[in-house]
């Protein structure tokens, strides 16, 4: 007796054991210690769990009634899902696999050459199959639609949300993994990972609360200093788009959640800290400065905006093109109300310096963390923040004017900037335009946009061209084997899109006449 219910057109071929040895909840109902390995942000899981819900639950510690209601709902779900039979749905394939035990195998799922699938759920549809392949081992876990565990990966006590994957000996333990995120070769433990996290090399990530995702973990990154020698009870909040360079060492606790799209350069060792300057570069110190600990790194706020806009703009398109998730909705724009609010706050703190110094620390400017900042980079940082705040605001104005002229919004252009709106997002943008940027003339404001867009396109090319100039000085035939920035496919695409946008803006301005 297999003690399994096998659906129509399912195939079981050349397997060692496919069975159920008693009541099983197929991986539902267990609590995962995400963020803090010793507990404190536990999330009770169910098969359809998504990152947004998991992130909210992990932060609900100050709302015990809501947390209890959630846990009760998961308990009820688990009780209803519990069964004394394994379930193999229609058109599922289980082939050349040593053992499948106590598992729910969804429609069209594929288990081929796996080592073990036990106490787990594979949510699947024939056109969106969940797959466990090539020696992979999945235990006490949920793999949602389109997920893949392959090439000797180990997934234990985890939830892989739609279209995430683990491969090439990757190890995923007690994690919730967001859509389109992949873990290969490295180890992730006790993490809540958001969408589009690139983790493709041997590296370590422990106790990260990272629901925003969209970041990258380089080879050799040691992001797991959660053990104080007393207990493994420390945590990291990386924040959206954090780039962890080759061989970085990140000491816990650390919070970069208010420094989105920042970069920790190769080889950097960071102290426990909280950084609140978006788009920053944190690099190893070039010299020891009197009065500042040699363990401090150098921070350049806004560096990614002024020197690496190619990466930001490319990522917006890259994530949209690579997205396979059908149930999760994303905003791929880097410049959104929340990120712009962080930029505005960062800019105010940089401008509020009472005494000009050659070098500043967190004692002088809150939010620098355990890093120092030179006066030479303060004004360029302010200018970079201001430029992209203005860009965001003017683009919002353009979109609102277009909506008014097309009849998709109520009101008139004549009093657009003077009239308060019930639309919360537009109202915040209107206040930014009028109160902070001092804009009162709609037409004049829109006439600024073409030059701003053209500058961004040119900066995209320049940020790529710097690589060309450096490479040519080092590698003899660099220019022969590398595509120059002017011919780079993304640079060309950016110029084409910019020309189209400028044409649309000019047409919009003509409609105001």
**Which residues partner with 88 through β-bridges?**
6, 105
Q: Tell me which H or E stretch contains 19.
A: strand 17-19
397 closest CA partner among 416, 415, 411: 416
Backbone angles phi, psi at 287, to 5 degrees: -155, 165
**Burial label, 64 (beta-carbon count in 10 A; 0-12, 13-18, 19+):** exposed
**Which residues partner with 370 through β-bridges?**
none
Q: Tell me which H or E stretch contains 225.
A: strand 222-225
Q: How do the residues of the chain divide into helix, strand and coil, expressed in percent and rounded to 5?
A: 35, 20, 45
140 closest CA partner among 190, 177, 103: 103
Distance CA 423, CA 247 (A): 46
CA atoms within 13 A on the CB side of 267: 5
Distance CA 283, CA 299 (A): 6
Q: Tell me which H or E stretch contains 183.
A: strand 182-184
For the chain, residues with pLDDT lower than 50 are none
As given in the structure block, the two tokens for residue 96 are: 């050349």
Q: 349: left (phi > 0), else alpha (psi -120 to 50), else beta?
A: alpha
- Grouping H, G, I as helix, E, B as strand and the rest as coil, residue 3 is coil
Distance CA 415, CA 421 (A): 11
**Which residues partner with 206 through β-bridges?**
189
Q: 454: left (phi > 0), else alpha (psi -120 to 50), else beta?
A: alpha
Backbone angles phi, psi at 306, to 5 degrees: -85, -25
Structural domain boundaries in the chain: 337-436, 448-512
- Check if the beta carbon of residue 206 is closer than 8 Å to that of residue 222: no
pLDDT of residue 230: 87
Distance CA 105, CA 15 (A): 15
- Grouping H, G, I as helix, E, B as strand and the rest as coil, residue 237 is strand
Backbone angles phi, psi at 412, to 5 degrees: -135, 155
């Amino acid at each position: 007796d297999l003690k399994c219910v096998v659906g129509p057109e399912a195939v079981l071929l050349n397997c060692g054991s496919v069975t159920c040895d008693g009541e099983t909840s197929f991986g539902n109902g267990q609590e995962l210690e995400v963020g803090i390995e010793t507990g404190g942000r536990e999330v009770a899981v169910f098969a359809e769990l998504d990152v947004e819900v998991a992130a909210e639950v992990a932060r609900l510690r100050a709302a015990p009634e809501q947390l209890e209601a959630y846990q009760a709902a998961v308990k009820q779900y688990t009780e209803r899902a519990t069964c004394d039979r394994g379930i193999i749905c229609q058109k599922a394939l289980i082939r050349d696999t040593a053992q499948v035990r106590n598992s729910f195998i969804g429609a069209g799922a594929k288990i081929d050459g796996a080592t073990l699938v036990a106490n787990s759920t594979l949510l699947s549809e024939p056109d969106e199959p969940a797959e466990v392949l090539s020696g992979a081992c999945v235990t006490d876990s949920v793999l949602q639609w389109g997920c893949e565990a392959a090439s000797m990966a180990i997934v234990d006590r985890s939830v892989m949300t739609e279209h995430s994957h683990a491969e090439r000996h990757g190890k995923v333990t007690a994690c919730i993994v967001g859509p389109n995120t992949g873990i290969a070769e490295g180890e992730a433990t006790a993490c809540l990972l958001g969408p589009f996290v690139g983790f493709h090399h041997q590296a370590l990530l422990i106790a990260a609360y990272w629901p925003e995702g969209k970041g990258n973990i380089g080879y050799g990154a040691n992001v797991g200093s959660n053990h104080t020698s007393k207990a493994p009870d420390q945590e990291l909040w990386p924040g959206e788009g954090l780039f962890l360079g080759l061989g970085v060492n990140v000491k816990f606790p650390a919070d970069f959640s208010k420094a989105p799209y920042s970069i920790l350069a190769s080889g950097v060792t960071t102290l426990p800290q909280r950084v609140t300057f978006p788009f920053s570069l944190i690099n190893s110190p070039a010299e020891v400065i009197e009065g500042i600990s040699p363990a401090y790194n150098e921070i350049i706020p806004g560096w990614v905006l002024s020197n690496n806009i190619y990466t930001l703009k490319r990522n917006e398109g890259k994530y949209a093109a690579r997205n396979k998730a059908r149930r999760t909705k994303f905003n791929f724009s880097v410049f959104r109300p929340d990120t712009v609010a962080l930029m505005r706050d960062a800019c105010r703190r940089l401008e509020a310096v009472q005494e000009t110094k050659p070098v500043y620390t967190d004692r002088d400017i809150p939010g620098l963390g355990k890093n120092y900042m030179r006066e030479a980079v303060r004004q360029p940082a302010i200018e970079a923040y201001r430029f992209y705040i203005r860009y965001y605001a003017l683009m919002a104005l353009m979109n609102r004017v277009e909506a008014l002229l097309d009849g998709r919004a109520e009101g008139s252009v004549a009093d657009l900037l003077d009239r308060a709106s019930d639309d919360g997002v537009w109202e915040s943008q209107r206040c930014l335009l009028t109160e902070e940027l001092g804009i009162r003339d709609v037409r004049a404001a829109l006439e600024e946009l073409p030059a701003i867009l053209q500058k961004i396109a040119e900066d995209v090319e320049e940020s790529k061209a710097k690589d060309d100039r450096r490479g040519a000085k080092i590698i003899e035939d660099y220019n022969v084997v590398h595509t120059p920035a002017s011919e780079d496919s993304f640079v060309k695409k950016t110029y084409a899109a910019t020309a189209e946008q400028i044409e649309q803006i000019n047409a919009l301005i003509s409609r105001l006449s």
